Amino acid sequence: MAIMAKQPFKGLRKYLLTLGSKASVLLRKLVALAAQQKRQLEFHGLDIEGISFESSAVSLGSSKKLVLGGAGNRGLEINGKFVKFTAIGIYVEDAIVHYLSPKLGGKSVEELCDKELLFEEVLTAPVEKLVRVVFLLPLTGPQYSEKVIERIGVQGMYPNLKDEYKKQFLEIFKAENFPPQSSLFLSFTKKGLKVAFSKGDGFPEQPVAAIEDKSFADAVLATIIWKDGVSPAAKVSLAERLSEYM
């Protein structure tokens, strides 16, 4: 049994070699998969516009540890100048790598981004995700929440969202203000969306509000990582870092 554990593909290797070239391709994939499983996943922290995004975080109201998938700035071209408004970090369960690898393994970063292949899969992956938004310029809560609802409508991916969830989202942000260096946390789970705020560098342990509707949570996440998402830089970063292990 000990020998079998150390060489799980030994018997299979001999069998496949008798089947020709197609089998040898399968063999290489199996060996690569075994090597990947042994390889330690390492997602280091990133510095975006002077904001430190730690290599890991704990999801809101949970003990589940997430890793920093990617990060980047968000901005707009105004009068010929690119103005940066926020820095965004995207955290995911590291189990997402094993979920994505059979579907997207071997594809280039360009393929993953240009065809939205990665972001479609991340959106629907059965793992928790957490987005930290750090404000570089002041913004009011209503300005932020109204823009999110507007983008949900423009993307048109979730036309049947209930108005009650949209109103609930707007209400959560109604009394909020985001001075520079303040943070917004959006946690995406199978049950829906959790929201938290911070004026400092720390990660809140508990959400201040939750919307228990998975479709609405997905719609909010889509405004960040789907086609024409608010931070192309964060999307590319996510693709580059995840593709290293797929």
The 10s digit of each residue's pLDDT in 13-61 is 665 566 666 666 666 666 666 555 545 678 899 999 999 999 999 999 9
Q: Same domain, yes or no, for 128 and 15?
A: no
- Domain count along the chain: 2
Q: Same domain, yes or no, for 104 and 17?
A: no
Q: Give the best-scoring range by mean pLDDT among 40-44, 98-102, 226-230.
A: 98-102
How far apart are alpha carbons 65 and 123 in whole angstroms? 19
Q: The CATH number of the domain where 215 resides is what?
A: 3.50.70.10
Evaluated on CA atoms 98, 103, 107, 112, the torsion sign reads negative
How far apart are alpha carbons 8 and 11 in whole angstroms? 8
Identify whether the C-beta of residue 46 lies closer than 8 Å to the C-beta of residue 237. Answer: yes
Identify whether the C-beta of residue 69 lies closer than 8 Å to the C-beta of residue 91. Answer: yes
- Residue 188 sits at φ, ψ, to 5 deg, of -115, 115
Q: Same domain, yes or no, for 10 and 73?
A: no
- pLDDT exceeds cutoff 50 at 209: yes
**Banded model confidence at residue 10, pLDDT cuts 50, 70, 90:** low
Q: Same domain, yes or no, for 18 and 111?
A: no
Q: Give the best-scoring range by mean pLDDT among 19-33, 72-86, 202-216.
A: 202-216
Tokens found for residue 10: 């030994």
How far apart are alpha carbons 85 and 178 in whole angstroms? 11
| Average pLDDT score over residue span 96-110 | 89
Residue type, 1: M
Identify whether the C-beta of residue 54 lies closer than 8 Å to the C-beta of residue 69. Answer: no
Q: Same domain, yes or no, for 33 and 150?
A: no
Lowest mean pLDDT across 22-36, 115-129, 214-228: 22-36
How far apart are alpha carbons 124 and 241 in whole angstroms? 19
Identify whether the C-beta of residue 158 lies closer than 8 Å to the C-beta of residue 218. Answer: yes
Gyration radius from the chain CA atoms = 21
pLDDT of 9 reads 52
Residue 90: beta bridge partners?
70, 131
pLDDT of 35 reads 55
User: Secondary structure of the chain: what % helix, strand, coil (to 5)?
Assistant: 40, 25, 30
Q: Same domain, yes or no, for 51 and 21?
A: no
Identify whether the C-beta of residue 239 lies closer than 8 Å to the C-beta of residue 117. Answer: no
How far apart are alpha carbons 29 and 89 in whole angstroms? 32
Q: Is the pTM of this model over 0.75?
A: yes
Where is pLDDT greater, at 152 or 113? 152
Tokens found for residue 172: 């959560």
Q: Same domain, yes or no, for 51 and 32?
A: no
The residue range of the domain holding 21 is 2-38
Percent of the chain with pLDDT over 70: 84
| Average pLDDT score over residue span 111-130 | 88
How far apart are alpha carbons 165 and 216 in whole angstroms? 7
- pLDDT exceeds cutoff 70 at 177: yes
Q: Same domain, yes or no, for 62 and 121?
A: yes
Q: Same domain, yes or no, for 128 and 81?
A: yes
Q: Same domain, yes or no, for 6 and 85?
A: no
Q: Same domain, yes or no, for 27 and 101?
A: no
